[in-house]
Homo-oligomer: A and B are copies of this chain.
């Protein structure tokens, strides 16, 4: 039998992982938006109130190409703080408007061109959380863990991964936030007390956002976990094969290579969801973009680490599940009751060093 302290009234929420099949170089923004609308229609029909889209959802995964500055602009959405946020972008606004009409909150990834006061710009690989309930952006994230290289790999036949060239590392950290009015009966501010254990997880849902490669970094999940995160949203574009540090494909059959990539994806998302007692909604852009294969693996993961539901295709597909946020209670009050069990006095190397310092040779 469950102990009374672990019992909590259900806080039910229907969520949709909106997987996108390939977006080719020649595909127009309008075509992609139309596909996203169709996914939202499907999500709405199944009662979803939160829809998660992939990383860089509106275009092909352009960091696989070496593109010069002039052509690069078309992949970005301009965000000029003097004119409002990303919700003002003509490319993105229709998605938010449509979501608003359906009453569905949105996580979506996009390439952000952030206009600075002096007219210059800084580019980020970003995601945004638009609350349809509140009709405003309530969360913003800029990818911290950019993979790849700044300079194109020069080895013959090397694959390119130029995120470090096109984007600056995110400067917003890992900031959890609450999604207003997403579940019924959430505690409100007036009911707040100083006792975080008593109120933990019983207000509006606590959301975290990551992008693609971030999901392999337990530090990122833990910073969110330390804010009581209940739902991690994470979109990705992940090649269906691994490469060496020179950018060569690892010598495996296509099937074995894809299986390995999926194992790593699952270990990262399931393992870190478990170790932080949170749901995660992990959403792929998948299939072959102009011949470049991306893995699928879109899935909704439970705070106890198992997969609740996963995609069956490598094309546009909606994976819907009704989750109970009260299920975060057991891990967060037992094995992962951080305040009882963590020992930060032994964790200092995590901050003190970036790379490896090995024990001396004998």
Residue ranges of A at the interface with B (Cβ–Cβ < 8 Å): 1-6, 144-147, 155, 169-170, 173-174, 176-178, 180, 187-189, 191-192, 196, 199-201, 203-204, 206, 213, 216-223, 225-228, 242-251, 260, 263-264, 267-268, 270-272, 274-275, 304-306, 330, 332-344, 346-362
Contacts and interface: CB of A to CB of B under 8 A. Distances in A.
Nearest to A157: B1
B245 A5 contact: yes
A179 to B, nearest CB: 9
29 contacts: A2-B244, A3-B247, A6-B244, A6-B246, A147-B341, A174-B346, A176-B359, A187-B361, A188-B361, A192-B361, A196-B355, A199-B361, A218-B218, A219-B222, A219-B346, A220-B346, A223-B350, A226-B355, A244-B330, A245-B334, A260-B304, A264-B304, A267-B305, A332-B356, A338-B356, A342-B355, A344-B351, A350-B350, A350-B351
Most chain B CB inside 10 Å of its own CB: which residue of A2, A250, A251, A346: A346
B218 A334 contact: no
Contact of A335 (B188, B216, B340, B344): B216
A206 B359 contact: yes
A173 B345 CA distance: 8
A189 B362 contact: yes
Q: How many copies does the complex hold?
A: 2
Contacts of A177: 359
A88 B344 CA distance: 33
Contacts of A356: 196, 200, 225-228, 332, 338-339
A245 B343 contact: no
A189 B217 CA distance: 32
Given A247-B3, A351-B347, A358 B227 contact: yes
A46 B291 CA distance: 47
A251 B2 contact: yes
Given A219-B222, A246-B3, A354-B339, A360 B267 contact: no
A304 B264 CA distance: 8
